[in-house]
Structure 1
Amino acid sequence: MTAAATPLLQVNGLKVSYGHIEAVKGIDFELHEGQITTLVGANGAGKSTTLLALSGLTKKAAGSVRFAGEDIGALAPHKIVSRGVVQVAEGRATLTTLTVRENLELGAYTRKDRGSRARDLDYVYSLFPRLKERADGLAGNLSGGEQQMLAIGRALMAKPRLLLLDEPSMGLAPIIVQDIFRTLREINKAGLTIFLVEQNVRQALKIADRGYVLETGKIVMADSGRALLGNPKVQDAYLGG
């Protein structure tokens, strides 16, 4: 897919610190509309912290974050969501005492047009038929894979322009991981821009238009997903040679 001339999201000099520990050390990267971009690296590299900073859930120490030409770096999280940047948190964070349908409807809480919300609910059910089957059941009774589907579906109900995903494959059986990544490709083909943070480097790079490799808070490589997948350094460090 051809990249747009102007990035949809542009990050410059992003730093995030926890006390005296600098978790993200002045990184630069950009996301282009209609693409899947992935940020990969070992556990503790700073991947999730980067996403939290983009969402406004963690305060950045320095740097700028521009989305669709607007500086969103100082906005509150709900304002960032209203701009069209929506995150699927690590660990799913479904509301277990609510039904599947209620969880999905909560994703659209900022939207007033009931007709479009109903159409998007049908769209989510078409992506994840299992959620439709379990719509009136409690989210807490879903399997891990179903809860991940629910978390993605709930984010889609917010009508994002950019979807941020934090470790969607974590703790899931390989066959479920394949299903999740297949769905991500499908929603991307429908036009949604995706930024994927993922420890499953092989799966992430397979579907990515572009990838960045993060090591101890610094971006050390950037290239197309295909090129990084074939890079000997990436293979040695993350793909078992």
Structure 2
Amino acid sequence: MGVILQIKDLAVSYGHIEAVKGISLDLHEGEITALVGANGAGKSTSLLAVSGLLKPVAGQVVFGGKDLTRLAPHQIVQHGVVQVAEGRAILTTLTVRENLELGGYTRKDRPEMLKDLAWVFSLFPVLKTREDGLAGNLSGGEQQMLAIARALMAKPKVLLLDEPSMGLAPLMVQEIFRVLKEINQTGLTILLVEQNVRQALKIAQHGYVLENGKIVLADSGKNLLHNPKVIEAYLGA
């Protein structure tokens, strides 16, 4: 598959602190790419720059040949690049269904939207059983499911996921990663930012390791899982 999104020499600063130091990576259409590394490596900052929530000091984000770097976040969503934020950011005082419908706010194709609603309910059956309940009453894992489902309602071409397993029980982590594989099998391109290096590299076709704002390793997910440097730094013996 060809490259659908390119990050070119991206640099992002917070004041005088350079958090991301000129990284470049390619997302291949229909594949999962994992960006892994320790807390504070610059993973979430990179994702926020791709989705327009932070403005880079240098570099480009190119999607389907179009430069997205200076666009507003809502314009980037309209192009098909949609982020699931760290910490879920669901609207707790709205129902599950209202959260999902808000996910599709840029869409005009109501019949297709209803089909996608049925699809996300099939991916996450627990959300169907709770669709009329307040989102704030969901468990942490269910809220993460809702955040992913809400992003899917925007009909993304590229899904950006920021730490989807954070704070979840092990069984729920397994379920989230299983669903991500299932979503990817529909042809959706995914950029997965994740501290759970083992799980992320298991499902990713490509992986990049970020340390102190720089990419230090790039390879297939499988090769990185067996790379001695990755094992030593992130996986244990």
State the TM bucket, normalised to the shorter chain.
over 0.9
In the other structure, the counterpart of 2:80 is 84
In the other structure, the counterpart of 1:106 is 102
* Residue aligned with 1:184, SS: helix
In the other structure, the counterpart of 2:53 is 57
The correspondence of residues 19-98 of structure 1 with structure 2, limited to 5 A, is: 19-98=15-94
Shift of 1:119: 0.3
Q: 1:9 aligns with which of 5, 10, 14?
A: 5
Shift of 1:11: 1.1
Shift of 1:201: 0.1
Shift of 1:113: 1.2
Mapped to 2, the partners of 1:99 and 1:164 lie a distance apart of: 24
Unaligned runs of 5+ in 1: none
* Residue aligned with 1:60, SS: coil
Q: Which amino acid aligns with 1:64?
A: Q
In the other structure, the counterpart of 2:228 is 232
Mapped to 2, the partners of 1:57 and 1:82 lie a distance apart of: 14
Mapped to 2, the partners of 1:11 and 1:20 lie a distance apart of: 22
Q: How many aligned positions are there? A: 237
TM-score, normalized by length of structure 2?
A: 0.99
* Residue aligned with 1:8, SS: strand
Mapped to 1, the partners of 2:189 and 2:25 lie a distance apart of: 15
In the other structure, the counterpart of 1:155 is 151
Mapped to 2, the partners of 1:118 and 1:9 lie a distance apart of: 28
* Residue aligned with 1:117, SS: helix
Q: Which amino acid aligns with 1:25?
A: K
TM-score, normalized by length of structure 1?
A: 0.98
Q: 1:145 aligns with which of 132, 141, 144?
A: 141
Aligned sequence identity (%):
74
Shift of 1:107: 0.2
Q: Which amino acid aligns with 2:149?
A: G
In the other structure, the counterpart of 1:173 is 169
Mapped to 1, the partners of 2:106 and 2:216 lie a distance apart of: 38
Shift of 1:240: 1.2
Q: Which amino acid aligns with 1:143?
A: S
Q: Which amino acid aligns with 2:187?
A: G
